[in-house]
Amino acid sequence: MALHLVVVTGMSGAGRSTALRALEDLGYFCVDNIPPALIPQLVELLAKGGELSRVGLGVDVRTGSFLEGATKVLDTLTAGGHEVELLFLESHDDELVRRFSETRRAHPLAPGGDLLTAIHKERERLAPLRARAGMIIDTTGMNVHDLRRTLVDYIARGGKRSRMVTRVVSFGFKFGLPVDADLVFDLRYLPNPHFVPELKPRTGLDPEVAHFVVDTPEAQELLADLESMLKKLLPKYAREGKAYLTIAVGCTGGQHRSVAVAEALAVRLRDQGDVVVEHRDMPKPAK
């Protein structure tokens, strides 16, 4: 019996346990922190049982030397007829440090040692799995509910075999590049509403700010070029089997130019399939 396997891995503190709980709520039988070398045996037992068809597996750096060869194990399972999806959870270094500090948990590679060094070491060790992942989720700024919604949406789309989803993400360079970006474009040469007193406190979602940015000859030329290029590239990415393609557009602070251009670009790409827009660094509205 072929199984649908979702393997959840990524940085410690990025939300793996939350993701596995969400999978359990969706009806997956989940096992956390299983050494990759033992996964084929577990899958064989579950497949023979015939009662479970969907399985979630948590794999992280705590598996030590077992982590080596994990990509080969996953390829073997795929060759055996099982449907295997690898989900990698990421987060910015400062966010991971904050989460460990708030929970007072010890990092698996730094029990009492240098936390930031341990995070960098973990990134290196998980690099092969990250490269193999079909979906990378940056949980920076997310709460448990945001992550759960993102995961539920991802699983639901996979189950329906829908078209590739194109994510257009605005961001501020001063806060760092989005770690899950496939394509990055720098908008810092466009006219900046930050220096216009009446526009500075607003965002790129405001019509006046959007017009100030998007109606300039520079922005119109940029949007036309991006539209032309992306309409050629998106079908090719989809043909390669990508579930999500993330296009990141950045300005200095992620408030004005990148927000306005992200919205305008998404409109131009709607006829290419499912397009969603996210504004990573824009202030959240008050509740």
Instruction: Return the number of other C-beta atoms located less than 10 Å from residue 130's C-beta.
Output: 18
Domain ranges of the chain: 4-160, 165-279
* Residue 65 scores a pLDDT above 70: no
Architecture (CATH level 2) of domain 4-160: 3-Layer(aba) Sandwich (3.40)
Q: How far is CA 286 from CA 169, 203, 283, in A?
A: 21, 14, 9
pLDDT at 287: 37
* Sheet-wide strand order for 244-251: 183-186, 244-251, 165-172, 274-279
* Residue 190 scores a pLDDT above 90: yes
Highest mean pLDDT among 81-85, 175-179, 205-209: 205-209
Q: What is the mean pLDDT of residues 233-260?
A: 88
Does this model's pTM top 0.85? no
Q: Is pLDDT larger for residue 239 or for residue 190? A: 190
The percent of residues in the chain predicted with pLDDT above 70, rounded, is: 90
Q: Is pLDDT larger for residue 160 or for residue 81? A: 81
Q: Annotate 197-233 with b (16+ C-beta within 10 A) or e (fewer).
A: eebeebbbebeebbebbbeeeebeebbeebbeebeee
Radius of gyration of the chain (CA): 21
pLDDT at 185: 98
Task: Extract the tokens encoding 86.
Answer: 């690898």
* Residue 161 scores a pLDDT above 50: no
Q: What is the mean pLDDT of residues 130-140?
A: 84
